[in-house]
Structure 1
Amino acid sequence: MRSWKWPPSPYRGKWDQSFGELQAFETFKKKLLRERSPADNLLSLLIDCFKSYESTPNPAAYSFAFSYLFRHRLVCHLPPILDHLEKVEKIDVPERIFVDIIQNYGRAGMVQDAVNVFFRMPRIRCTPSVISLNALLLVLCKKKEGLALVRDVLVKTPDMNVRLEASTFWILVRVLCRNGKLGSAVELMNMMPLHGCNPDERMYSLVLRSLCREAGSAEVMDFLEEMRNASFLPGTLEYNSVIDVLVREGKVNDAYNVLTRMKLDGRWPDVVSYNRILFGFDMANNFEKVDDLFDEMLLIGLCPDRVTYNTYINGLCNQGEFERACRMVKCMERAGCNPDIETFNILIAGYMKIGEIRKAREVSSTMCRKGLQWNSQTYTILLDGLHSKGQIMEAYQLLMEMLPKGFVPGPSRFNTLIHGLIEKGHFPEAIEILMEMISRSVAPDARSWRSFIDSLQLSYLETSICLEGIVT
């Protein structure tokens, strides 16, 4: 009977080669990890393991060797392997291996070595792309010494036929914004069309927010218009940043115009938007606008938060409408937005400003009944108010009450109170405050010392006149 034989497979040789490479790779890992071979013999160990299976090291084996060296901080042994790859081997090296090397060099703080490897890639039969370029830029942008190398890399990149893409510009713009070089960031965005790409909404938003932190309102408004002309509309967060800049510069009417533009652009303002403009109108003493804006919030269905209520109550106090301010505090409670210590401090400051010390004390007592403890601002408001109304001994007693609780006023308040006490003839109390200052390493100013000296001279003069009268 004739036996049947399978025809020889044309793929058998390739399968044998792949299996041999796999066995060689496993042997190499075993010797390297288990036997802890010296790192200076790593290259020869790699070659011998593959040679024993009649094969040559593949990219995966080289990748593992590089990772091993970085993981065990044996980076000094990496150059000989790269030299071997460049001058002896003929295999094409995948770009991902160089990306890993660049990133590992970055983690080790070896930015110049990362740059050298990037430029060496074509000589080791690897075509660099924007992937390896971006990896290098990310490494360089994390170190101060790396930033100085970015320009040189970008100048030489065209010679390597690496095309800059939007992702590259995003990395560069982000770094420029982080370092406060916003003019350069805007110029870079304007250069993007020359490279066949355009800024996206994310990039515009980043630069706009950075300008709001670093620049003035003129630059911010110019860029905002540029962003709108590019058919990108800022989000609520960006609009709020613009509003904040305008309010900070006292341009609250312009800020309100931006609020109106938000609504026209379909970006609905939030409570933060209104709070910032409310604050601006309050600081500008435009209480009519404060009222209108608060009503507008309610009409569009926005629920005021504590910041809203506190700003509105502050405006009412500045207008002298304390009854409305107190009613608003009750409205807060009914709305489930319990007043905080800032709310009561605003009321106390308002009453102290008009000399209603009794009312201020009532509010401070109410605050304590609600379980809120006075803070340094509460004590400061009461201290300044009592002193300004000439109630020096009450101010002194309040100061002696706050010091054991850890609330220490600034040197100016100590000195002002000392001067006031001496002026009113309360010399022992002034001495007590002086001792408290010295115990806290707070130096009295020249005015305080002069008050003490003048008081002592006056006391000596009065004593001398009295004695002279007795003798006579």
Structure 2
Amino acid sequence: MVLFNSSSVSSFSSLMKSGGKQRRWPLSPHKGKWQQKFNEQQAMETLMREAEIFEKQRQNPDKPHLLSALINTFNIHECEPTPYAYSFIIKTLAKNFWFDQLPPVLDHLEEVERFEPPEFFFVDLIRIYGNANMFQDAIDVFFRIPKFRCTPTVHSLNALLSVLCKKSAGLQMVHQILLKSHAINIRLEESSFHILIATLCKIKRIGYAIELLNYMPHCGYNADVTLYSLILSSMCEQGEFSSAEVMDFLGEMQNTGFTPNAGERVSVIKVLVKDGRGMDALDVLNQMKLDGIKPDIVCYTMVLDGIISAGHFQKADDLFDEILVMGLVPDIYSFNVYINGLCKQNNVEAGFKMVSLMEQFGCKPDVVTYNTLTGMVCKIGQVRRAQDLVKEMGLKGVQGNLHTYRILIDGLVSKGEVMEALVVLEEMLSRGFIPRSQTFDEIICGLCEKGLVCEALKLLEQMATSDATPGTRVWEALLLSLGFKSSLLETTSTILEDLIWNSPG
């Protein structure tokens, strides 16, 4: 068997004679790639060290350009710059706000290099320009992508849309961007619609967001529950949509097969209650339960308030009983709403019983609770009971507020207890509460009717120090008490008013 022919032997002999120095076979492809990777790694480490030096010399106006460092470093290590190296350079320039060096880097990448940069390279660059509010530069990079031997897709378009949608200046450019991107065959995808609709909701252009939502099927996409939820929540929060419009959108959402979550139902209920549609709010609550969503006490309280405001008191009683049956613990707001409903029915005794129930639940009545009951007992003429209730407040550590004093003073005046009302007024002033002019007027007139003119004049003086303006009826009451004839009342009271209004200081 012949292993070598004459030509092979001759070649082998020549190689042996030369000592193997004239190797004709190329290096192993595996060994070549390994060497290239090693050189690139060494170049990259050197470039990073160079960048650190440049950053320390940030204030030096003669600092060298990082592009030169990039080229020189990779030349020294006998390898070509990589996309990662360019990405590092761009991020370093952006971190140090050396944006003036970015154009030469991009020009060199476009005109000199031959590799194909990955699209994420341009996505990062678009975001860098966007964070610096350099919107036009971000747009220029997007439409320049093909010149870098890269094909732009919806990923880079979405990056640009996200950047532009953050600022009003960028929003104005979105329409043109969409038109131009369509011209270069970049189609909007579901992710693009999410960006645009979320932005429209954020800037409170909900109507446009709904139009875009309805346009999605024309592009071959169906809106998901996230978009419906976003728009529904925005409609409820914005406050410019009627409850009818909110309910229409809720119905559309449900017709598409999406079930609103608990938070979205609560937002809808809030809109309905605010619009005086308490029974519709009750319907939404009942639908929640049918859909397997257990309403919490906040949700029940809003509906309870809505149906009480609508005058459906029997429904309110049933709903409060349901709260207890469901095992929910009413909070202070729930009790106050229900007590207010009982007082609207003039069922004061039931209101007081409810206070006892509150304490059994460990829920301490607050100033709203007491004010509601105080107002009701004053309304039915039980002023003494109102005074006792206010004393009970103090004993239980609940401080009365401005509304407490107003309720009590009005009740005392209506019963003719003017001197007691004056005592309450003085306590009110000592606590720093400023009464309405009407409150002063009521007491002054009441004092005049009882012939207590001196007290009335003192209160008038105190009224002036409180920056309150007496009404015409006050002057009439004072003049009558001082013996003026009724025919002179109108003229004299007018003169006194002018003196008060036009006096210095």
Question: Where on the TM-score scale, by shorter chain, does this alignment land: which range?
Answer: 0.7 to 0.9
Distance change >3 Å, CA 423–CA 115, structure 1 → 2: farther
Is 1:444 aligned with 2:469?
yes
Partner of 2:390: 364
Give distance in 2, aligned partners of 1:40 and 1:86: 21
Give distance in 2, aligned partners of 1:201 and 1:268: 20
Instruction: Indicate the RMSD between aligned Cα atoms, in angstroms.
Output: 3.0
Partner of 1:352: 378
Partner of 1:124: 148
Q: CA-to-partner distance for each residue in 1:413-446, whole Å, 9 max, x for gaps?
A: 55665666667633333334334324xxxx636x
Q: Which stretch shows the higher mean deviation, 337-346 or 374-383?
A: 374-383
Alignment of 1:20-39 (within 5 A): 20-35=39-54, 36=57, 38=62
Give distance in 1, aligned partners of 2:29 and 2:303: 79
Q: 2:429 aligns with which of 403, 406, 421?
A: 403
Partner of 1:158: 182
Q: CA-to-partner distance for each residue in 1:368-414, whole Å, 9 max, x for gaps?
A: 22222223332333344344444444444333323343433456555
Alignment of 1:276-287 (within 5 A): 276-287=302-313
Q: TM-score, normalising length from structure 1?
A: 0.87
Distance change >3 Å, CA 191–CA 435, structure 1 → 2: same
Alignment of 1:252-267 (within 5 A): 252-267=278-293
**Matched letter for residue 39 of structure 2:** G
Give distance in 2, aligned partners of 1:108 and 1:82: 17
Q: 1:143 aligns with which of 167, 174, 183?
A: 167
Is 1:51 aligned with 2:75?
yes
Partner of 1:115: 139
Give distance in 1, aligned partners of 2:477 and 2:388: 39
Instruction: Classify the secondary structure of the residue corresponding to 2:359.
Output: helix
Q: 1:16 aligns with which of 5, 13, 35?
A: 35
Give distance in 1, aligned partners of 2:150 and 2:443: 78
Q: 1:76 aligns with which of 94, 97, 100?
A: 100
Is 1:430 aligned with 2:455?
no
Partner of 1:222: 248
**Matched letter for residue 379 of structure 1:** Y
Please report how far the alpha carbon of residue 255 of structure 1 lies from its aligned counterpart in structure 2 after TM superposition.
2.0
Distance change >3 Å, CA 108–CA 240, structure 1 → 2: same
Give distance in 2, aligned partners of 1:99 and 1:214: 37
**Matched letter for residue 364 of structure 1:** V
Partner of 1:337: 363
Give distance in 2, aligned partners of 1:303 and 1:354: 31
Q: 2:208 aligns with which of 184, 191, 196?
A: 184
Alignment of 1:289-368 (within 5 A): 289-368=315-394
Q: Is the 8 Å Cα contact of residues 146 and 152 (structure 2) preserved in structure 1?
A: yes
Distance change >3 Å, CA 44–CA 326, structure 1 → 2: same
Give distance in 2, aligned partners of 1:131 and 1:84: 24
Please report how far the alpha carbon of residue 168 of structure 1 lies from its aligned counterpart in structure 2 after TM superposition.
1.7
Give distance in 2, aligned partners of 1:419 and 1:85: 90
Alignment of 1:215-254 (within 5 A): 215-254=241-280
Distance change >3 Å, CA 350–CA 26, structure 1 → 2: same
Q: CA-to-partner distance for each residue in 1:335-379, whole Å, 9 max, x for gaps?
A: 222222222221112222222221112222222222222233323
Q: CA-to-partner distance for each residue in 1:124-163, whole Å, 9 max, x for gaps?
A: 2232233322222222222111111111122222233333
Give distance in 2, aligned partners of 1:415 and 1:57: 88
Q: CA-to-partner distance for each residue in 1:54-77, whole Å, 9 max, x for gaps?
A: 223212221122112221122222
How many matched pairs? 455
Structure 2 residue runs of 5 or longer lacking an equivalent are 1-25, 486-505
Q: Is the 8 Å Cα contact of residues 90 and 102 (structure 2) preserved in structure 1?
A: yes
Q: Percent identity?
A: 47
Give distance in 1, aligned partners of 2:446 and 2:131: 63
Q: CA-to-partner distance for each residue in 1:282-335, whole Å, 9 max, x for gaps?
A: 212322221121122223333322222111111111222222111111111112
Distance change >3 Å, CA 287–CA 435, structure 1 → 2: same
Give distance in 2, aligned partners of 1:170 and 1:77: 35
**Matched letter for residue 131 of structure 2:** R
